[in-house]
A = this chain, B = another copy of it.
Amino acid sequence: MKAVPQDILESLGAEIILGNTYHLYLRPGHELIRGLGGLHKFISWPRAMLTDSGGFQVFSLAALRKVSDEGVRFRSHLDGSSHFFTPEHSMDVQIALGADIAMAFDECTEYPAERGRAEESLRLTMAWARRSLDHFKAHRDEVVWREELGGQTQNLFGIVQGGMYTDLRKACAERLVEMEFDGYAIGGLSVGEPRALTLEMIAEVLPLLPKDKPRYVMGVGYPDEIEQYARMGVDMMDCVLPTRAARHGLLFTSEGRLNIKARRYAEDQGPPDPECSCAVCRRYSRAYLRHLMQAGEALSATLNTIHNLAYYLGVMARVRQDLEAERTAS
């Protein structure tokens, strides 16, 4: 996690973190990580982890992408070297990394996309889902910590795509459920579409996904979004927003969004969020956090991120409590 040490993430109550397959594949390399006992050991994180398939970063960061039915050829954004990712290769890399949850290799359909383009993209994602699952099943026993954990292996999630076409989305969800993944993600959202459309896609797809397996919406969102989706039945979400925004000085607070770089906080002795009890809000003033950003101090990213993570984890803790109370009452 950028700028925050693992022990602080633990004390914040983070139960799972995400590793980027594309980045780790390029540097330090998945074979190195496998050799060191897997990603948990490499970064010293004993709690749960998830790796993405690498596809999203290949499509958003890498250069000279060439997609075929077989897979994606691309050049590294680091050194321009040429690489070829297939569903099978994504599985091999993710098995080497050894996160608790691996993701099927998919193509994230861009927005907006014509129906023909969305259909073609979905065809690829479905074929790749099948190949991901087959390869994963054939090799899941190879995860480096299997013996240590009494034969336990990783979990593979399928990813629902289909652009903004509900019939494509539904067809995709149904076929993925037939394939029997360990969990199901809804991908290709939060790619520039209006929020009402995001919501519609989730609302249409969610009922088709089994309740007794994790249901995961990828790449969302703002605090009110994650609360809304969680109350609809989404179990997992991931997003760079709380950490990336923190590094740019945007804090999420009980009073709304706060741009800590703003001149008006220069002499503000109050905590970033008066209702927050995180280590940052208990100790530091808005004036100090603003100064750290103005001075370009690395500590700024650390403190802002700790607060935003505390805020997000606080939102989810409250939602869980509410849902538990509703269940008890009913």
Give the most central of A35, A44, A266, A288: most B CB within 10 Å.
Answer: A288
Is A303 part of the binding interface, using a Cβ–Cβ cutoff of 8 Å? yes
Within the complex, what minimum Cβ distance (angstroms) separates A301 from chain B? Answer: 6
Contact B298 A36 (CB under 8 A): no
Give bound CA distance, A2 to B296, whole Å. Answer: 10
Asked if A267 and B32 make an inter-chain contact with CB atoms under 8 angstroms apart, the answer reads: yes
* Least distance between A304 CB and chain B CB atoms (Å): 12
Cα–Cα, bound, A302→B9 (Å): 14
A36 partner residues in chain B, CB cutoff 8 A:
267, 269, 285, 287
Q: Which residues of B contact A2 (CB under 8 A)?
A: 297-299
CB contacts (< 8 Å) of A285 on chain B: these are 36, 42, 44
A254 CB within 8 Å of chain B: no
CB-defined interface of A258-280 with B at 8 Å, one 1/0 digit per residue? Answer: 00000000110100000000010
Q: A116 within 8 Å of B by Cβ?
A: no
Q: A267 contacts which chain B residues (CB < 8 A)?
A: 32, 35-36
Interface size on A, residues (CB 8 A): 35
Copies in the complex: 2
Given contacts A36-B269, A267-B36, A298-B301, contact A287 B6 (CB under 8 A): no
A297 to chain B, nearest CB (A): 7
Asked if B27 and A279 sit within 8 Å, CB to CB, the answer is: no
Interchain nearest-CB distance for A284 vs B (Å): 6
Contact A298-B295, Cβ < 8 Å, known A36-B267, A266-B32, A303-B5: no
Q: For the complex, what is the distance from the CA of A247 to the CA of B47, rounded to whole Å?
A: 28
Q: B266 and A28: CB pair below 8 A?
A: yes
Measured between beta carbons, the chain B residues less than 8 angstroms from A42 are 285, 287-288, 291
